[in-house]
């Protein structure tokens, strides 16, 4: 399995520290608002990478942090006349609800900064002891000049940053690029007691402390959006490696930006969408398919046309899923030759090449075409074929990519009006047997008006709802 490592700028063979165990840390949201569709892409692609590692029989410990102390949180809490705890509790619940709607597996741990003040203080203390941090009247800064590898993830040069960046003037800093690891408390802001006085942690130190606490001083995979490479992940490396003297992360993975109608998403352009906005209009499987159709490192465009095209793609998967569910119930029938192993191999080859989900999805749609063709060309196929086809579908399209869910298909089939629909299908079948084409057409049209679409095949008639 090859993984592109942002640190080395090349694909590397994936070799976990303690195989088959894999430690994976993903930067989660700052919980002061609903997360946007771009964040949604990062979360879904992280979920798929984790699922595929599990498909390959790795035991993944998946940690996603929740930032619950931050300038944005304080500002919004003040605007809404809430405590920061009340605000973050509200949006933590919303976040967990929305990722469940996205059909994501929950993380093993969702650590929050406010619950890790002891660990944060311990890391800062080590940085001070090792000469990488300094205290100025209760504000503690990280001295980037002391860390020789600064810039190795982003490729940025310290001299260029100092010369060209617009840097906030702060006379307390020894170097204008030094960043806060502990901030002295201000009036009206939440604060915690520490050896440097009342204050709160800087953003970057939180992830270093939480990652070490739950996954150890060196971890296998650290993932997040491209926008986090600098300064957040660069600073995480500097802090963590200065504190422990060890490599912090083996494989850095970053996800490409999401544009809306080929424009950068922003509130000022009026093209800013939260994930829940989109999930209210389209099924999660369609959104997941849209995401997997591009490589995770590439930028992705989001538009109504593209999401509706993806939705049509998931309908093809659902249609075959229903046919497979029906075919498994068959008794008797002939055995047909079908090379399932070929499709398993093609799927693994795609995913083993730096999680190439677009190629993996193409393999699945080729499989759909071949299975439909086999069904169309053979009058009476036994249930073993349908069982094996469903097993492939479940292990790849469902378990790894999450672009079909057989339980959802079963729920739809068992809805309150399914019995009446099945009765109408039976009446239509009798009408067709008696060559009463007019009645058969009337039943089809009547069902269509109610949003029920019939699909005829050699196995019989199935239906789907608009």
Q: What is the pLDDT of residues 335-379, one digit of tens each?
A: 999 999 999 999 999 999 999 999 999 999 999 999 999 999 998
Domains annotated for the chain, with CATH where assigned, are 2-264 (3.40.50.620), 306-408 (1.20.120.640), 415-465 (no CATH)
Above 50 in pLDDT, residue 165? no
Nearest to 32 by CA among 81, 65, 73, 64: 73
Q: What is the mean pLDDT of residues 408-433?
A: 74
pLDDT of 157: 86
**Predicted confidence band of residue 158 (pLDDT cuts 50, 70, 90):** confident
Q: What is the pLDDT of residues 293-322, one digit of tens each?
A: 999 999 999 999 999 999 999 999 999 999
Average pLDDT on 68-75 reads 94
Question: What was the pLDDT predicted at 167?
Answer: 52
pLDDT greater than 80 at residue 123: yes
Rounded to an integer, the average pLDDT of 421-441 is 84
Residue 223 tokens read as 């993932």
Q: What is the pLDDT of residues 205-255, one digit of tens each?
A: 999 999 999 999 999 999 999 999 999 999 999 999 999 999 999 999 999
Does pLDDT of 415 surpass 80? no
User: Mean pLDDT over residues 83-97, rounded?
Assistant: 96
Strands 219-225 and 249-255: parallel
Q: State the CB neighbour count (10 A cutoff) for residue 254.
A: 20
Least confident of 17-26, 251-260, 433-442: 433-442
Overall average pLDDT of the 161-174 stretch: 66
Q: Taking 90 as the threshold, does the pLDDT of residue 169 lie above it?
A: no
Instruction: For residue 462, give both structure tokens.
Output: 């199935």
Q: Is 334 helix (H, G, I), strand (E, B) or coil?
A: strand
Q: What is the pLDDT of residue 442?
A: 80
pLDDT band at 445 (very low <50, low <70, confident <90, very high): confident
Residue 431 CA to residue 138 CA, distance in Å, equals 85
pLDDT at 15: 98
How many angstroms separate the CA atoms of 388 and 462, rounded?
20
131 touches 85 (CB < 8 A): no
pLDDT range class, residue 417, cuts 50, 70, 90:
low
Q: Tell whether the model's pLDDT for residue 412 goes beyond 70.
A: no
Give the pLDDT score at 164.
Answer: 52
pLDDT the model gives residue 413: 53
> Who wins on pLDDT, 432 or 163?
432
Neighbouring C-beta atoms of residue 31, cutoff 10 Å: 25
Confidence of residue 175 (pLDDT cuts 50, 70, 90): confident
In this prediction, what percent of the chain has a pLDDT beyond 90? 76
Percent of the chain exceeding pLDDT 70 equals 95
pLDDT tens per residue, range 138-147:
999 999 999 9
Task: Answer yes or no: is pLDDT of 447 > 90.
Answer: no
pLDDT, tens digit, 9 for 90 and up, residues 389-404: 999 999 999 999 999 9
Quote the pLDDT of residue 459: 61
């Amino acid at each position: 399995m090859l993984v592109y490592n942002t640190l080395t700028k090349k694909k590397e063979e994936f070799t976990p520290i303690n195989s088959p165990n894999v430690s994976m840390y993903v930067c989660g949201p700052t919980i002061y608002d609903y997360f946007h569709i771009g964040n949604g892409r990062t979360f879904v692609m992280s979920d798929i990478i984790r699922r595929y590692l599990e498909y390959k029989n790795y035991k993944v410990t998946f940690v996603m942090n929740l930032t619950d102390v931050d300038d944005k949180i304080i500002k919004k809490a003040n605007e809404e006349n809430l405590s920061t705890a009340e605000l973050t509790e509200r949006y933590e619940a919303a976040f967990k609800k929305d990722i469940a709607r996205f059909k994501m597996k929950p993380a093993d741990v969702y650590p929050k900064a406010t619950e890790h003040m002891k660990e944060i203080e311990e890391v800062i203390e080590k940085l001070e002891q090792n000469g990488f941090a300094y205290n100025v009247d209760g504000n503690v800064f990280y001295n980037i000049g002391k860390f020789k590898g600064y810039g190795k993830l982003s490729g940025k040069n310290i001299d260029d940053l100092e010369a060209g960046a617009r840097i906030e003037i702060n006379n307390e800093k020894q170097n204008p690029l030094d960043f806060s690891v502990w901030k002295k408390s201000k009036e009206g802001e939440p604060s915690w007691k520490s050896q440097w006085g009342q204050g709160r942690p800087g953003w970057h130190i939180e992830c270093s402390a939480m990652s070490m606490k739950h996954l150890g001083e060196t971890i296998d995979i650290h993932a997040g959006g491209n926008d986090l490479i600098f300064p957040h992940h660069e600073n995480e490396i500097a802090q963590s490696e200065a504190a422990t003297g060890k490599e912090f992360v083996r494989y850095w993975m970053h996800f490409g930006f999401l544009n809306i109608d080929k424009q950068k998403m922003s509130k000022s352009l009026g093209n800013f969408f939260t994930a829940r906005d989109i999930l209210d209009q389209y099924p999660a499987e369609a959104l997941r398919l849209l995401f997997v159709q591009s490589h995770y490192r590439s930028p992705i465009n989001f538009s109504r046309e593209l999401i509706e095209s993806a939705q049509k793609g998931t309908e093809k998967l659902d249609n075959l899923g229903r046919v497979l569910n029906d075919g498994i119930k068959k008794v008797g029938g002939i055995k047909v030759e079908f090379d399932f192993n070929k499709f398993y191999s093609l799927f693994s080859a795609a995913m083993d090449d730096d999680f190439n989900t677009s190629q993996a999805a193409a393999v699945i749609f080729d499989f759909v075409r071949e299975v439909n063709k086999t069904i169309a060309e053979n009058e009476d196929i036994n249930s073993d074929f349908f069982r094996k086809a469903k097993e492939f579908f479940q292990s790849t399209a469902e378990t790894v990519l999450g672009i079909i869910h057989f339980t959802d298909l079963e729920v739809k089939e068992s809805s309150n009006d399914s019995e009446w629909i099945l009765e109408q299908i039976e009446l239509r079948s009798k009408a067709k047997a008696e060559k009463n084409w007019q009645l058969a057409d009337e039943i089809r049209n009547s069902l269509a008006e109610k949003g029920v679409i019939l699909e005829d095949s050699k196995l019989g008639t199935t239906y789907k709802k608009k």
